[in-house]
Structure 1
Amino acid sequence: MLKWIQGGISAVTGIAEPEYGSDYIHSVADRVKGKQPYKETSREDLYWLNPDYTNVETATFYFTNIKTGVLGFAQIIHSNIIGLHTQAQFTFRVYNAKEGKEALNLWTSTKLENFRIDGPNFYADNLSVELDQDSKTYHFKSDVNEKSKVDLTFTKLTPGCKVGDDPSTYYGDNIEEPWGRMRHVFWPRNKVTGKIDIKVPVKQQASEEHKDIKGEQTSQDTRQKDRESAEEKGTSEENEEEEEEEELEDLHIKFTDESPALSMFVMAFQGMKPHHAAKAWNFLYFHSEDHTAVLMEFITPKSYANTKVSVGIITSKNEVLSVSVNNDFRHLNSSVDSVGWNVPKNLSVKFNGFKSTAPDEKIAAITNSPTKQEKYDNDTQLHATVEGKLDQLVERIDVMNEIPNFVKSIVSGVAGTKPYIYQYADEFTLQFQDASKEKGLAWVEVTFISEGETVTDESYNEA
């Protein structure tokens, strides 16, 4: 009972948690050990949970045009702080991986007004995200920010997927009454059609020839300076931006039925404070002409025994080939950067899964065999490796400079919390067991949250 009380208090106050140990985390991977992890999503799996306690819930629609290099995401963030303050945000990123660091790199983040949830759908003033009745297509339309208007349709090419019947990891001594929860469901490979209308500064255009895909990022340092200046003047950041009256030029990106983009969609729920749930995150999605690979994992703080929870997905053009929970996301050639995190220069991600058609009994036999690693069972197992260099740092995000002041006031005093997100867009390769490599585009996010215990390369390679 004492630990439950401590957990409940820490979820509200942000104080450091005691060391509970592995008995106080109930991983989704543990519940599917020796079983087929892959389950297809239902319509109900895509409903917003929207509980009345501290949580952050997101719906993120990624898009990738392999030919042009244009990729990015449109995202809804819905958060509830201590059950007292609920808010919603539209965030948008677009980048051109083929053109390099000087090419298109636009980021916007816009507060939503009069938002509401209706099952799997989300609405706000000048924004709607709707799932059709057949649960095959999402329509995402937003006019809330003049710099990033989207009207995109995402249509499933493969089934949606999750790990097990309940794709959640629970924290606490009682899984029926947990004090924290993490949950993810996916549409791993989709077709994207529609249009994106953006505005970028005129001076940042490289040439008229590339007018439809050129642009340049507004740096985080500039955003922070603008914010500080606005606070000194007693004005909002939004008003400060309006007063600048920067000269902008319209750019247009279109995805058609004849030339669509590819997409990965993920719905995520984090029902506890970020620095209590995880000390680090790794995320990658990769699209080639023939396959998609997705890897999302987090590592808990020492409070929960540095437990790694990893979900990997491999698809063909129209089928989910494997959902794996035994993956190896390796940070390579790491070095400490100017803010103090040991940041990788290369990645190697190994998916060690079972084919989505493999029955439980075969999976159990391999999982429980003392010689299971000595021979590869081609009928049951599926191994793949995605790897590449992290050459293009899209942005290093100082999370504490981006979150609202209300949230910042709660977590800013927590010792050892220094959250940074490193976003990359690069050409990677995918290789199946003994097959040739195929090229594609990858979006990577490496997130460091807590330095309460040093995060090293080995932290990401725990069994």
Structure 2
Amino acid sequence: MRRVRTATTTTRRSLVPRPPDSSAEPTGTYPLEPPATMSWFGSSAPAGPNIHPVQTTFSDPNNLYGPLTKEDLSWNCGGGINTETQVWYATMPDGALVMAQIIHSSIGLLWPNIQVTFRYCNPKTQKNVWKSVTVTNFKVAPSDKLDKRSCKSDQITVTVDPSAPNKYTIEAKYDDDVQISLVYEQLCQGFKLGPGPRGGLTYFGQLSQKPTPAGDAPAYAAGGDGYCVHRFWPRCAVSGIMRVGGDVVDLAGSRGVFIHAIQGLRPNLLAAKWNFANFQTVGKEGQDAVSLIMMEFTTTPQYGSKVVNVGCVVVGDELVAVTAGGSGVVGGSTATHLDPVKDAETGYLAPSAIKYNWEGTRLGPDGKPADEKNAKVQAVLVEDLVTDKATYQTKGLVEKVDVLGQIPYLIRKVVNYAAGTKPYIYTWLNPVTASITLGSEGETKTIDVDGYIFNEASFISE
């Protein structure tokens, strides 16, 4: 939710409950009625449509941009079965990648488990550092002060100054070897797919008859079984330093993305597959300052095996398109696995290459469709991966994660029983070239830009 991512790398460590602690305090704010009503092992069959993808809720191609409200960026800390993540990625000028993530997981009546994770991967130096630390004394700022966007704990503090709501300051100590002090400043509009309280939300189960929340509060409870949502800051200026071992690394000039994601449903029931792409150009100006972001999941057969795809195109540090794809949509945004081959290690058909495509209406600075003829945007990126099909060796492989191998035995047995398979996450970091076509009036312009893609392909079940 890596996802949330979001949803992908996030869920592999989000299923571990924290044992009750008499000295610990509940974290966050819990709704009176949890959004997810399914039991741990399943639910009764619904009488009507049991999946409502966000791209069919917002089917007007000229109304895909949803501005983010204060409530969209606030911590929800939901109860029931709920996994919420906030994740900050940074692509450095030398192509290295940094990730900082907070995962808030609830499992039924157990105390929530909160973890912070860290990733530093530098292909040039072959350095690959991963940290995952359980958080203690986690607290979210009161909503009357900072809209529940700031949080603090013994391991990490995230601060949003009310006078600068477009900036996150992150201070974290994972252990004696890894510490970060980073600032993420928004360079273009953030977004969700579709405006209003239901913007960004895919609902599972029959739609509730409950009234839509007043004001800007997200309609989390509208899905009878649960929901999934992603919100994005697709282009950020990143600065600050991190210490990894004896090295102090300056992140000045880096570019990043911030994603707030929530899975209000047990992860292995929500999705069978995930695709995530984060392409950034670094050290470039004008129209070469590009970000391409995509988040896609395929629901389980229980929910119709529907594809949900949300993406965006940033050119010149401006959000020029929000895209929607998947089931019920022609065009939009797609992630296509090319020439898949069986990976003997995992048993899955893994891609030899992945093609990402974005198509959408060109937006103006206000997020509304540009008042021009032929105001369209298309971006295409193909990442070649395989170097040896027989053994499925791939370029830029950061990690191939056996998800069940990362969680304790008891939880692993429960998940394996429910999912009936072994979830794996493939993670890559590679230099690539993206081609972007901008249409306006009678003119069409195509630009090719070099950058770096950090991407994931997750297989949860067949």
Q: TM-score range by the shorter chain?
A: 0.7 to 0.9
Deviation at 1:19, TM superposition (A): 7.1
Distance 1:93 1:306 in 2: 31
**Match for residue 422 of structure 2 among 406, 415, 418:** 418
379, 390, 393: which one pairs with 2:374? 379
Which residue identity lines up with residue 76 of structure 2 in the other structure? L
Question: 1:415/1:309 Cα in 2 relative to 1: closer, same or farther (>3 Å)?
Answer: closer
| Equivalent in the alignment of 1:86 | 112
- Structure 1 stretch displaced more, 86-95 or 399-408: 399-408
Query: Could you tell me which of 378, 399, 414 is aligned with 1:395?
Result: 399
Find the aligned partners of 2:302 and 2:127 in 1 and give their Cα distance: 41
Secondary structure of 1:437's aligned partner = strand
State the match for 1:45 in structure 2.
72
- Please give the per-residue CA displacement for 1:217-265, whole angstroms capped at 9, x wherever unaligned: xxxxxxxxxxxxxxxxxxxxxxxxxxxxxxxxx1121123xxx210111
Structure 1 residue ranges (4+ consecutive) displaced by more than 4 angstroms after TM superposition: 17-22, 358-363
**Aligned mates of 2:154, 2:67 — CA distance in 1:** 33
The aligned residue for residue 333 of structure 2 is: 327
Conserved 8 A contact 1:157-1:317:
no
Shift of 1:428: 1.5
2:95 aligns with one of 62, 69, 80: 69
Deviation string 1:409-462 (CA, Å, 9 cap, x unpaired) is 5323224232111000001211123624211000001000012xxxxxxxxxxx
Q: Which residue in the other structure is 1:131 paired with?
A: 160
SS of the equivalent of 2:412 reads: helix
For the 8 Å contact 1:143–1:150, the answer to whether it is kept is: yes
Structure 1 counterpart of 2:99, one-letter code: F
Post-superposition offset of 1:39 = 2.0
Partner amino acid, structure 2, of 1:121: S
CA RMSD of aligned residues (A): 2.4
Kept after mapping to 1: 8 A contact 2:378/2:436: yes
Larger radius of gyration: 1
Identity of aligned residues (%): 28
Contact between 1:122 and 1:129, CA under 8 Å: does it hold in 2?
Answer: yes
- CA deviations on 1:318-343 (whole Å, 9 max, x unpaired) are 31110000212111132111210111
2:361 to 354, 371, 374: 354
Give unpaired runs (5+ residues) of structure 1: 1-6, 200-249, 364-376, 452-463
Letter in 2 for 1:113: T
Matching residue within 433, 442, 449 for 2:460: 449
In structure 2, which of residues 259, 268, 278 is the aligned counterpart of residue 266 of structure 1? 259
- In structure 2, relative to structure 1, the CA distance for the partners of 1:418 and 1:98 (3 Å cut) is same
Q: Which residue of 1 aligns with 2:248?
A: 252
Distance 1:362 1:437, change over 3 A: closer
Give matches, 1:281-320, under 5 Å: 281-288=274-281, 289=284, 290-320=289-319
1:13 corresponds to which letter in structure 2?
W
Q: 1:340 corresponds to which residue?
A: 347
- Aligned residues of 1:282 and 1:298 also touching (Cα < 8 A): yes
**Farther off after superposition, 300-309 or 264-273:** 300-309
Counterpart of 1:57 in structure 2 is 84
1:38–1:323 contact (8 Å) kept in structure 2: yes
Maintained 8 Å contact 1:43/1:135? no
Does the aligned pair in 1 maintain the 2:86–2:103 contact within 8 Å?
Answer: yes
Displacement of 1:272 in angstroms is 0.6
**3-state SS in 2 of match to 1:412:** helix
2:241 is aligned to 195
The equivalent of 2:211 in structure 1 is: none
TM-score by length of 1: 0.76
Contact 1:313–1:324 at 8 Å: present in 2 too? yes
**Alpha-carbon distance in structure 1 between the residues aligned to 2:117 and 2:305:** 30
Per-residue Cα deviation, 1:104-148 (whole angstroms, up to 9, x for no partner): 111111111111222012211132011221311101111132222
Secondary structure at the aligned position of 1:145 is classed as coil
C-alpha distance after superposition, 1:71-103 (max 9, x if no partner): 12010011001132311111000011345xxx1
**What does residue 428 of structure 1 align with?**
432
CA distance in 2: counterparts of 1:104 and 1:53, whole angstroms: 39
Cα 1:406–1:265 shift into 2, 3 Å: farther
Take 2:156 and 2:447, find their aligned partners in 1: how far apart are those partners?
44
Change beyond 3 A, Cα 1:315–1:362: closer
CA distance in 1, matches of 2:296, 2:362: 20
